[in-house]
Structure 1
Amino acid sequence: MFDAEEAAATLVAALTALGTPERAEAEKAYLKSDLTFLGVTVPVLRKAVTSAARARPEPSRVELLAWIDALWSRPVHESRFAAIELMRIHVRVLTRADLPLVERLIRDAAGWVYVDTLAEKIAGILMRRTPADFGTADAWAGDRDFWVRRAALLSLLPGIRAGDPDLVRFDRYADAMLDEREFFIRKAIGWLLREISRRDPAYVIAWTTAHRARMSGVTFREAVRRLPAADADRLRAAG
């Protein structure tokens, strides 16, 4: 029988052995977090979580949710990161009914290192299975919590990267948030424009031209980063 608490404790013990006090101190300061840090690098952490996942049969949804809860309930950075990694690895086990859980973790996380994966690799994947579920992202886009608003934007990334961007939603979300002063919103809008430009530079050129007067420096720099040099230079000169 699967014991979620035992599985979580075993994984955290393995991660503890992989960390260093020096990195723990530096990363805690960098992320300005109240959590405990073990000092494990991201590549090593991901490898350890992947190994732990492969060492067991694929969990049922109930087992996976219990494992995630047992990891997330620990006030330890690596334990919470591991919970998100398990969700990413086993995203096929999750269903649309788990979107409220994803939202709860986003609100609880309140930091890009957790929110970005939750939004792109989990929420965005779940929503693409049933496009009507992007109604959840629509609600997030108007939320008072800027991390939830950022998640709404980043949930569009899987479609963009698959060559099937929801440009109507992008335009609606980005236009509504473009005047915000929050760095993580400004950066996210630019990030999406940069990704869109890989396949559809004309759209990004037109969107940037139309919104240039309202775009922050960080949004603009990200937007033009992958554009053809001549187009990027022209947009810079116009600003």
Structure 2
Amino acid sequence: MESGGLVEGLRDALRGLGDPERAEQQRAYLKSGIGHLGARVPDMRRCVVEVRRGLGPLPAEEVRALARELWTVPEGASEPVYEFRWAAVELLVQYAKALDAGDLAEVEELLRECGTWALVDPLAVHCAGAVALRDPAAGTVLDRWVGDGDFWLRRSAVLALLPGIRAGRPDTVRLTRYADALVGEREFFLRKALGWVLRELSVRDPRFVRDWLDRHGAAVAPLTRREATRRMDNGER
């Protein structure tokens, strides 16, 4: 099947999962400015899995092209559709092993267009983060993201460190640089992300987290501190 037919077939399947009432709830919850069909995440994931199984292994170039086609506003439509963009993200996640640091340029473009944590986070953690865990060259990309003017890129740089932490291979040198750079951020989504990553690390290395919190003291936002210590006992805090 040509890519256009494949993409349109997946879009039709997602349309069939829609629920207008749920769509309005989703739009309100995500404070979204794009269209919503109201499909449930497990159902959407099942659709993408079926497509991936039918396609089999693909080179990175084809994966990126399919994801971009899904992401683009459909012909005749007046706005992007959340479920189509979610499917594009999920496709990149499921084919993350086919990608390397050079493919993060396309991922970056999508991150800049996401506009919501619900699309940013899986793309940052399970795509960019998965690439960074395998390809050391991705580190220079993340280093650039953490200093970017777009706070979603800064959030993505931090969250991309999660796979390494979960795999028992935390990049504490990079995490220290990122956390030191972001400690004064006022943006909620950055304070939350920093706390989330520190919380994950606290399970394996509570001393690192405690030392970092002590070093920055009152400069650490209450939200960040609360998240960072959520899984630490009173003695470790």
TM-score (norm 1): 0.92
Listed as ranges, the matches of 1:76-95 within 5 Å are 76-95=81-100
Instruction: Report the alpha carbon displacement of residue 126 of structure 1 after superposing the two structures with TM.
Output: 1.4
2:71 alignment partner in structure 1? 72
Provide Cα deviations, 1:45-68, integer angstroms capped at 9, x if missing partner: 112211221123323333322211
The code of the aligned residue for 1:173 comes to Y
2:77 alignment partner in structure 1? none
Instruction: Report the alpha carbon displacement of residue 186 of structure 1 after superposing the two structures with TM.
Output: 0.3
Cα separation, 2, equivalents of 1:142 and 1:63: 30
Q: After the TM superposition, which parts of structure 1 deviate over 3 Å for at least 4 consecutive aligned residues?
A: none
Cα separation, 1, equivalents of 2:190 and 2:228: 13
Listed as ranges, the matches of 1:192-203 within 5 Å are 192-203=197-208
Instruction: Report the alpha carbon displacement of residue 189 of structure 1 after superposing the two structures with TM.
Output: 0.7
- Asked if 1:206 corresponds to 2:205, the answer is no
Provide Cα deviations, 1:8-35, integer angstroms capped at 9, x if missing partner: 1111111111120000011011112221
Contact in 2 for aligned 1:212/1:220 (Cα 8 Å): no
2:32 alignment partner in structure 1? 33
Structure 1 unaligned regions, length at least 5: 233-239
Cα separation, 2, equivalents of 1:50 and 1:85: 9
Indicate the percent of aligned positions where both proteins have the same amino acid: 46
Listed as ranges, the matches of 1:165-204 within 5 Å are 165-204=170-209
Contact in 1 for aligned 2:23/2:37 (Cα 8 Å): yes
Cα separation, 2, equivalents of 1:83 and 1:133: 21
Listed as ranges, the matches of 1:29-178 within 5 Å are 29-74=28-73, 75-178=80-183
Contact in 2 for aligned 1:194/1:223 (Cα 8 Å): yes
2:76 alignment partner in structure 1? none
Instruction: Report the alpha carbon displacement of residue 93 of structure 1 after superposing the two structures with TM.
Output: 1.8
Contact in 1 for aligned 2:18/2:39 (Cα 8 Å): yes
Provide Cα deviations, 1:89-117, integer angstroms capped at 9, x if missing partner: 11122232211001111111122111111
SS in 2 for 1:230: coil
Cα separation, 2, equivalents of 1:203 and 1:65: 37
Provide Cα deviations, 1:128-163, integer angstroms capped at 9, x if missing partner: 222132011111111111111111111111111111
The code of the aligned residue for 2:191 comes to R
Instruction: Report the alpha carbon displacement of residue 81 of structure 1 after superposing the two structures with TM.
Output: 0.4
Across the aligned residues of Structure 1 and Structure 2, the Cα RMSD in angstroms comes to 1.3
Structure 2 unaligned regions, length at least 5: 74-79
Cα separation, 2, equivalents of 1:108 and 1:30: 19
The code of the aligned residue for 2:60 comes to R
Provide Cα deviations, 1:189-215, integer angstroms capped at 9, x if missing partner: 100110001111111122122223111
1:12 alignment partner in structure 2? 11
Contact in 2 for aligned 1:119/1:155 (Cα 8 Å): yes
SS in 2 for 1:229: coil
Instruction: Report the alpha carbon displacement of residue 230 of structure 1 after superposing the two structures with TM.
Output: 3.2
TM-score (norm 2): 0.93
Contact in 1 for aligned 2:59/2:98 (Cα 8 Å): yes
Contact in 1 for aligned 2:101/2:141 (Cα 8 Å): no
